[in-house]
Amino acid sequence: MNSVLTITCPLPLAVTDRVLLGHGSGGKLSAALLSEVFLSVFQNPVLARMEDQAVLDIGGVRLAFTTDSFVVKPLFFRGGDIGSLAVHGTVNDLAMGGAEPLFLSTGFILEEGLEMETLRRVATSMAGAAKAAGVEIVTGDTKVVEKGSGDGLFINTTGIGLVREGANLSAANARPGDRVIVSGTLGDHGIAILSEREGIGFDSQIQSDSAPLHTLVRTMLDTSSQIRCMRDPTRGGLASSLNEIAARAGVGMELIEDEIPIREEVRGACEMLGLDPLYVANEGKLVAIVAREAADQILAAMLEHPLGREARIIGTVTAEHAGLVIARTPFGTTRIVDMLAGDQLPRIC
Amino acid sequence: MKFLDEYRDPKLAQTLVADIKRRVTRPWVLMEICGGQTHTLMRYGIDSLLPSEVELVHGPGCPVCVTPLEMVDKAVEIASRPEVIFVSYGDMLRVPGSTRDLFQVKAAGGDVRIAYSPMEAVDLARKNPDRQVVFFAVGFETTAPANAMSVWQAKREGLANFSILVSHVLVPPAIRLLLEQPANRVQGFIAPGHVCTVMGYSEYEELAERYQVPFVVAGFEPLDLLEGIRMLVAQLEEGRAEVENQYVRSVTQIGNEVARQRMFEVFEVADRKWRGIGEIGQSGYRLREEYAAYDAERIFGVETTTAEEPPECIAALVLQGLKKPVDCPVFGTRCTPDRPMGAPMVSSEGACAAYYRYRRHEVGTLSAQGN
């Protein structure tokens, strides 16, 4: 190695000596954190599948098992709150594995001084969301940290569910010719949250799309056995989910940019803030890779479901440019839809 | 979306491309200066729509990219101090200094915040009288008025805990330097629309006259750029070397006089170092002596911090249009946006990063035609 690299080249981002905010972005830094810190020490075949949930065979019963933590700010936002989000997030991670969600646990980390009324509202919202999703919160834990050691309220939820007979969903299943379907408009949650934070200086009516997706998944699996895999594109957005699938399956993808559903208000906010909606978080959307011959039938079933009314086929899995997601622009040209290193950053001008 | 879709209409784009093809009779090398324009060209693949005679090369107008390594080191040094709240435009945070970037400073306990406007930093100074608030005043003529305004406002209010770390550069001196290189290949320029919104375009009229090179001031949407390219090709084919304005919805010949007045009250022209290029005489702004009390370099004693860039990087050749990013031996291998060796790989407005982010699947077809 020459001296240029060793002396003056900046450190590769993955090998930082401290945790950065970007390690929680869902981009390359998150992937590096997983592989360099966790996967090497926790290694086992179930974890190695790198899906959103573990699928465990226990006495002939296939159980889906997953966990997620919620650190959203503000705690209450248009279209939801941290409580309902904590239920939906885990329900959706189970559903993406083809499972019917059954039971949740919850852990609260509370900051000293949090208003009791706030906590009550959050708990009530969680209970409502669980009831609506048909799951029960059956165990939990509470810890309180000193003022200044937490940000009001963090929630963890863990869930178990039963994997449907015959369902075998995995990113590794994607193959050339498959179609890419999204269940609706992208970027709603992330922009709803952003517009309620201080200092952004714009007002919007955009609502978070936070919703439990398991009934939509049920409808899809009832319709066809030709679904290869599903993801709920939360942090990191659609672009990160598709890049993960492409890398996992060793395939390329080509998206038709014009077909990707994005609300006008979300597009407008993204233009103003210098963000790309394909990297903005969703909490009530899924992306599915399905066999070409089943795509129209699955899409038709999704369109009938309240959470899939704006579903669209947005692209194709390809053998070419393996590992890369490409978008065909309205001009007929192509561009890469890359995995970002960390969070998106607004540009200077 | 209203006021945007009109400038992204694929049918109109085809018409403009057809018109460019009809007009062009020989090879021309055109340069867009501004990184925002480079970003649009790559994002929409505009370059691949053009006839092979029209070659686009990408200029040094990415403010994040040309901010010298040593300024990033100074920012890191200041932001690491416990009494400081360091405020910056978002895309400066991931720019690596010699050892660390600002995100790493934040992770180590530094108070580093992202703002959309320097006035947010002034507000932080008001609300935190016991802290020193420092704004990283980076950019071209575009961001200079707002950055100047923040200092002007702080002085007016007597805010003693606000300062700015200035790294402002100017477009015309960079163009002049480029045109005076014996190896220069650029025959026409897309002038930067937002810079000209502030400055007007009389400076470019002087350049066009002196160097007999045509300019078209253009906007940032795909159709703005295609129309700008068509106007440039028309000038070149007709042997004209004038300044024309495509971006009439934002730019006038005299620009924004009020903004400039405030800017020159606070800033004066000075020599500046450009990352990837080196020092260019009278190519940037510094704070006037009357505003020395707001100069973060002086307050925190970092004037002498220096840093060297990796010599392997061909940034200087890329920024002059002599090489394309993909002609660099380390492009996409040892030099990536996560691990940039040089200026144009640093921000998505930089030519190398824009190629990497949007077009590396076409590497074989993207080489500089002049090589």
A134 pLDDT tier (thresholds 50, 70, 90): very high
Mean pLDDT within A159-186: 97
Same domain, B62 and B210: yes
Domain A171-336, architecture per CATH: Alpha-Beta Complex (3.90)
pLDDT in tens, A164-177: 999 999 999 999 99
- Residue B344 class from Cβ within 10 Å (0-12 exposed, 13-18 middle, 19+ buried)? buried
Residue B263 counted as domain residue: yes
Q: Are both B121 and B266 inside the same structural domain?
A: yes
The residue of chain B with its CA nearest to that of A22 is: B103
- The 8-class DSSP code of residue B187 comes to -
Whether residues B203 and B179 fall in one domain? yes
> According to CATH, where is 3.30.1330.10 located in chain A?
44-163
Tell me the three state secondary structure of residue A134: coil
Sheet strands (E) in chain A: 54-58, 61-70, 76-77, 80-81, 99-111, 136-145, 153-163, 179-182, 227-231, 252-256, 287-290, 312-318, 325-328, 334-336
* Interface ipTM > 0.85: yes
For residue A338, the chain B residues in CB contact (below 8 A) are 357-358
pLDDT at A10 over 60: no
| B364 is a domain residue | no
Q: Which of B311, B328, B344 is the last residue in one of the domains? A: B311
Helix, strand, coil tally for chain A in percent (to 5): 35, 25, 40
Any bridge partners for residue B280, and if so which?
B272
Is B1–A268 a contact, with Cβ atoms under 8 angstroms apart?
yes
Distance from CA of A345 to the nearest CA of B (A): 5
Number of domains composing chain B: 2
> Is some CB atom of chain B closer than 8 A to the CB atom of A148?
no
Residue B368 lies in a domain: no
For residue B65, what is the domain's CATH number? 3.40.50.11740
Is the CB of residue A22 less than 8 Å away from at least one CB of chain B?
A: yes
Interface mutation target, options A264, A275, A333, chain B, most CBs of B under 10 Å: A333
Please report whether residue B366 resides in a domain.
Answer: no
Torsion angle in degrees (nearest 10) through CA of B355, B359, B364, B370: -40
Determine, for residues A10 and B349 on separate chains, whether the beta-carbon distance falls below 8 Å: no
Give the integer Cα–Cα distance in Å for A234 and A285: 8
| Backbone φ and ψ of A301, nearest 5° | -65, -40
Q: Residue A12 is nearest to which of B43, B48, B339, comparing CB atoms?
A: B339
- On whether both B305 and B323 belong to a single domain, the answer is no
Residue range A44-163, CATH number:
3.30.1330.10
pLDDT band at A5 (very low <50, low <70, confident <90, very high): very low
CB distance B97–A321 less than 8 Å?
Answer: no
Give the pLDDT score at A25.
87
Instruction: Please return the burial class of B258, using the count of CB atoms within 10 Å of its CB with bins 0-12, 13-18 and 19+.
Output: exposed
The answer on B125 and B230 residing in a single domain is: yes
**pLDDT tens column, A285-332:** 999 999 999 999 999 999 999 999 999 999 999 999 999 999 999 999
Instruction: State whether residue B267 is helix, strand or coil.
Output: strand
Q: Check whether the bond before A74 is cis (ω within 30° of 0).
A: yes
| Residues spanned by the domain of B220 | 1-311
Q: Looking at the structure, do residues B279 and B301 belong to the same domain, yes or no?
A: yes
Interface of B with A in 206-225 (CB under 8 A): 222
Same domain, B332 and B234: no
Residues B319 and B225 occupy one common structural domain: no
CA B218, B219, B223 angle in degrees (round to 5)?
A: 95
- Is residue B365 domain-resident? no
Tokens linked to A40: 């090497």
Please give the model's pTM, rounded to 2 decimal places. Answer: 0.91
Residues B263 and B320 in one domain: no
Residue B369 lies in a domain: no
Q: Which residues contact B64 (CB under 8 A, 6 or more apart)?
A: A348, B35, B91, B92, B95, B138, B346, B347, B349, B350
User: B103 to chain A: which residues are within 8 Å by CB?
Assistant: 20-22, 342
Strand partners, A317: A253
Same-domain status, B326 and B283 = no
Q: State the nearest Cα–Cα gap between B239 and chain A, in angstroms.
A: 30
Indicate the DSSP class of residue B331.
Answer: B
Query: Is A3 near chain B, with CB under 8 Å?
Result: no
A5 touches chain B (CB under 8 A): yes
At residue A320, the pLDDT reads 95
- B347 and B236, same domain (yes or no): no
Looking at the complex, does the CB of residue B10 fall below 8 Å from at least one CB of chain A?
yes
User: What pLDDT does B226 receive?
Assistant: 98
| pLDDT, tens digit, 9 for 90 and up, residues A34-88 | 988 999 899 999 999 899 999 999 999 999 999 999 999 999 999 999 999 999 9
Residues B73, B70: Cα–Cα separation, whole Å: 5
Q: Tens digit of pLDDT per residue, chain B (371 long)?
A: 777 888 999 999 999 999 999 999 999 999 999 999 999 999 999 999 999 999 999 999 999 889 999 999 999 999 999 999 999 998 899 888 888 999 999 999 999 999 989 999 999 999 999 999 999 999 999 999 999 999 999 999 999 999 999 999 999 999 999 999 999 999 999 999 999 999 999 999 999 999 999 999 999 999 999 999 999 999 999 999 999 999 999 999 999 999 999 999 999 999 999 988 889 999 999 999 999 999 999 999 998 888 887 777 888 888 888 888 999 989 999 898 888 888 888 887 899 999 999 988 886 666 544 43
Secondary structure, 3-state, A79-110: CEEHHHHHHHHHHHHHHCCCEEEEEEEEEEEE
Give the CA dihedral A122, A123, A127, A128, nearest 10 degrees.
Answer: -30
Q: Are B64 and B103 in the same domain?
A: yes
C-alpha dihedral sign at B359, B364, B369, B371? positive
For an interface test with A, the pick among B361, B363, B365, B366 (most A C-beta atoms closer than 10 Å) comes out as: B361
Residue A333 in contact with partner chain B when CB distance is under 8 A: yes
If pLDDT is split at 50, 70 and 90, which confidence band does A8 have?
A: very low
